[in-house]
């Protein structure tokens, strides 16, 4: 038996594969299951055109078997199998993908479910195994062959026995070392959870023998029943992902269950968005607007992102590029066939497709929030209570670049009926003579209501936005004007309100108090720049105003900030 050597480049590549390309060892199973699924797909595509091949769905599955004593993990499939030549070409030459070739040959047919394309996934097996045996019998062949390798120094192929068409891969799991635990890959529970995590939506059943406990049938009455363990073959994966189903087949409860299963949050989602896009970019997504603020939401620890699947296989837990920061509260997943992945899969190429998907998602989230605001006000206000602050940060951040996306989503407390209003609502009920959108800032609504500065504006019958959140005024400043109306603080020097004709004439009155004002100015020197008579006061003797760009409240915040 002559040992074939891997080509020199292949050797180096193999070392790299084993040591550094993948971020997590557990993905070896994802890769091998993907290959098995591809192999079944290939029979399926062949059956579409070749009448001599019957495709009976029940005959096609992947079976995972762990043997703790023998330290082996077996991945068997009933797929298309490999000839001696296939074993040679597809497993002997690293970075050669039989699946990519298959896809190209069968372009006319609907071969887009096939996952493989890089020709390296298989070697991930060597991250956990020190010896790998592949026994395979190709469709239409009576012979089987066994490929075996211990890693970088080569492989052998010999004739073998195999009763049915398909492939059986045996991994001889490495012994534990001081630093590394490999035993876990022989544990039923761990294997199940890896399969659930990455391969839950593989289209064929992934079966495992699962051990359970059950009470023995013949327990005598009154006695505690004795238990016996039994082994049962179970399908571990869910197969059809919820996002491939039609919206019309799904209920709110289905979406909620998915939210819980995926642990996107521990609350109930406020709203879900199910997207199935077939335009410039083809993808499916299920997104959620949560109801509650995650405990770490407004901290540096919080990590935004959506789960990213390529054709049903999980590629990334949190793809941050899919969400703008101001929508970082959105949870959910995206599945697309169009992504250009590189060989490690975890590392996405920053391509046009991803950018398109992200833009699409941004628009969908915005329009969903707008319709929530319009049609389900209570829900929107709940949402706003949890995440409104983030939207306001979004308006203020990035030099106000995103104000157009966000300004219609903002709500502020209003002097009218003590309610939250949107800027649009404010504008739509402005009296004709009102020139500005007025606001007053303060630490609470009660305090703002007592501000003498609000009196004149309120007396005119003008609505005032009460800004109680320290980011509020910064957000308004970033927006600058809304529907051609500028914002004006009630404490600014010029309120843009014509005084009533019968108002006092403060200038004249003030002439008699000149000395008093000078005296006050000296006493308050350094605290105020000027003391003067005012037309705006009604029931209060005095108020503070500011003349520059900044309101008194903003000045307070800025001067409290560390330099
Ligand atoms: P990829 O899946 O990206 O093509 P892999 O390294 O995972 O690369 O696999 C290399 C090739 O080996 C596949 O393209 C396929 O032709 C073949 N192969 C791997 N596993 C199987 C299998 N279980 N059944 C049939 N062919 C397989
Ligand atoms: Mg593969």
In this prediction the ipTM stands at 0.99
453 annotated as ligand-binding: no
Asked if residue 98 has its Cβ within 6 Å of ligand 1, the reply is: yes
Helix (H, G, I), strand (E, B) or coil at 69: coil
Query: Of 100, 103, 102, 168, nearest to 137 (Cα)?
Result: 168
Whether residue 118 is annotated as binding a ligand: the answer is yes
| Mean pLDDT computed over 19-44 | 89
DSSP assigned state of 461: T
Angle made by CA atoms 187, 193, 197, in degrees to the nearest 5:
145
- Cα–ligand 1 centroid distance for 118 (angstroms): 9
The verdict on the CB of residue 31 being under 6 Å from ligand 1 is yes
| CB of 493 closer than 8 Å to CB of 547 | yes
Q: Is the CB of 36 under 6 A from ligand 1?
A: yes
pTM reported for the whole predicted model: 0.78
- For residue 116, the CA-to-ligand 1 centroid distance in Å is 7
Give the least confident one: 179-193, 195-209, 346-360: 346-360
- Please tell me the predicted confidence (pLDDT) of residue 526: 78
214 is in an annotated binding site: no
The mean predicted confidence, pLDDT, of the chain is: 87
**Does residue 313 have its Cβ closer than 6 Å to ligand 1?**
no
For residue 563, what pLDDT is reported? 47
* 130-154 pLDDT, tens digit each: 999 999 999 999 999 999 999 877 8
What would the pLDDT profile of 277-326 be if each residue is shown by its tens digit? 998 889 999 999 999 999 999 999 999 999 999 888 888 889 999 999 99
- Residues 93 and 91: their CA atoms lie apart, in Å, by 6
Percent of the chain at pLDDT above 70? 90
Mean pLDDT value across residues 340-367: 85
User: Does residue 311's CB lie within 6 angstroms of at least one atom of ligand 1?
Assistant: no
Residue 519 labeled ligand binder:
no
Output the residue whose Cα is nearest ligand 1's atom 18. Answer: 35
Confidence tier at 547 by pLDDT (50, 70, 90): low
**Across 438-445, average pLDDT:** 90
97 CB within 6 A, ligand 1: yes
> Which has the minimum average pLDDT: 43-57, 102-116, 276-290?
102-116
**Residues 366-417 pLDDT 10s:** 999 999 999 999 999 999 999 999 999 999 888 888 999 999 999 999 998 8
Identify which ligand lies nearest to the alpha carbon of 14. Answer: 1
Question: What dihedral angle (degrees, nearest 10) is formed by the CA atoms of 282, 286, 290, 291?
Answer: 120
Distance (Å, whole) CA 281 – CA 357: 7
Distances, alpha carbon 30 to alpha carbons 305, 345, 548, in Å: 22, 11, 62
The answer, yes or no, to whether any atom of ligand 1 lies below 6 A from the CB of 77, is yes
Q: Which residue, chain included where needed, has tokens 């294997």? A: 191
Q: Which helix (H) or strand (E) holds 213?
A: strand 206-215
Is 83 a pocket residue for ligand 1 (Cβ < 6 Å)?
Answer: no
Q: What is the pLDDT of residue 482?
A: 94
Residue 422 region by backbone torsions, left for phi larger than 0, else alpha for psi between -120 and 50, else beta: beta
Average pLDDT over residues 15-29: 80
pLDDT digits (tens, 9 = 90+) for 199-231: 999 999 999 999 888 888 776 677 777 888 999
Name the residue of 13, 64, 90 whose CB sits within 8 Å of the most ligand 1 atoms, as the mutation to test its pocket: 90
On whether 154 is known to bind a ligand per the annotation, the reply is no
Three-state SS for 241-268 is CHHHCCHHHCCHHHHHHHHHHCCCCCCC
185 is in an annotated binding site: no
Ranges 23-32, 167-176, 233-242, 502-511: which has the least confidence: 502-511
Say how many residues make up the chain: 563
Ligand nearest 341 Cα, by number? Answer: 1
Which has the closest alpha carbon to 304: 279, 281, 287, 291? 287
Distance from the alpha carbon of residue 84 to the mean position of ligand 1, in angstroms: 14
Residue 551 has pLDDT above 80, yes or no: no
């Amino acid at each position: 038996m002559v040992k074939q050597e891997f080509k020199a480049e292949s050797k180096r590549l193999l070392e790299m594969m084993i040591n550094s390309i993948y971020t997590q060892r557990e993905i070896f199973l994802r890769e091998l299951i993907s290959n098995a699924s591809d192999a079944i797909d290939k029979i399926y595509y062949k059956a579409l055109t070749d009448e001599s091949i019957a495709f009976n769905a029940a005959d096609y599955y992947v079976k995972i078997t762990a043997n703790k004593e023998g330290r082996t993990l077996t991945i068997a499939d009933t797929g298309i199998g490999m000839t001696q030549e296939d074993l040679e070409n597809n497993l002997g030459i690293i970075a050669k993908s039989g699946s990519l070739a298959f896809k190209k040959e069968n372009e006319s047919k609907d071969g887009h479910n096939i996952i493989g394309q890089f020709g390296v996934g298989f070697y991930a097996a060597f991250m956990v195994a020190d010896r790998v045996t592949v026994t395979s019998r190709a469709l239409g062949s009576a012979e089987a062959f066994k490929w075996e390798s211990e890693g970088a120094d080569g492989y052998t192929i010999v004739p073998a026995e195999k009763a049915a068409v398909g492939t059986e891969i045996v991994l001889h799991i490495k012994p534990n070392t001081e630093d590394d635990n490999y035993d876990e890959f022989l544990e039923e529970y761990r294997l199940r959870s890896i399969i659930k995590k990455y391969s839950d939506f593989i289209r064929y059943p992934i079966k495992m023998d699962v051990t359970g406990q059950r009470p023995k049938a013949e327990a005598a009455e009154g006695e505690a029943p004795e238990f016996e363990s039994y082994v049962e073959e179970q399908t571990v994966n869910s197969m059809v992902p919820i996002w491939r189903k039609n919206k019309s087949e799904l209920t709110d409860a289905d979406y909620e269950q998915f939210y819980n299963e995926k642990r996107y949050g521990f609350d109930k989602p406020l709203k879900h968005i199910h997207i199935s896009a077939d335009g410039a970019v083809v993808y499916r997504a299920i997104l959620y607007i949560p109801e509650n603020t995650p405990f770490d939401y407004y901290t540096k620890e919080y990590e935004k992102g959506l789960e990213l699947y390529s054709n049903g296989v999980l590629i990334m837990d949190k793809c941050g590029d899919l969400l703008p920061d101001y929508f970082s509260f959105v949870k959910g997943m995206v599945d697309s066939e169009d992504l250009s992945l590189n060989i490690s899969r975890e590392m996405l190429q920053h391509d046009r497709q991803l950018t398109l998907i992200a833009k699409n998602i941004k628009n969908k989230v915005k329009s969903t929030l707008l319709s929530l605001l319009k049609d389900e006000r209570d829900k929107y206000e709940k949402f706003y209570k949890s995440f409104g602050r983030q939207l306001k940060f979004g308006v203020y951040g990035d030099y106000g670049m995103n104000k157009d996306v966000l300004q219609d989503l903002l709500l502020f407390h209003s002097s009218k009926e003590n309610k939250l209003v949107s800027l649009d609502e404010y504008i739509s009920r402005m009296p004709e003579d009102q020139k500005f959108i007025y606001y007053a800032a303060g630490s609470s609504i009660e305090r703002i209501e007592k501000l003498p500065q609000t009196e004149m504006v309120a007396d005119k019958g003008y609505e005032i936005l009460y800004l109680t959140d320290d980011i509020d005024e910064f957000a308004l400043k970033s927006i600058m004007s809304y529907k051609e109306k500028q914002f004006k603080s009630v404490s600014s020097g010029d309120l843009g309100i014509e005084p009533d004709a019968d108002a006092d004439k403060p200038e004249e009155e003030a002439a008699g108090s000149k000395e008093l004002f000078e005296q006050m100015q000296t006493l308050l020197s350094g605290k105020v720049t000027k003391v003067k008579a005012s037309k705006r006061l009604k029931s209060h003797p005095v108020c503070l105003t500011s003349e520059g760009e900044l309101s008194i409240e903003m000045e307070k915040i800025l001067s409290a900030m560390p330099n």
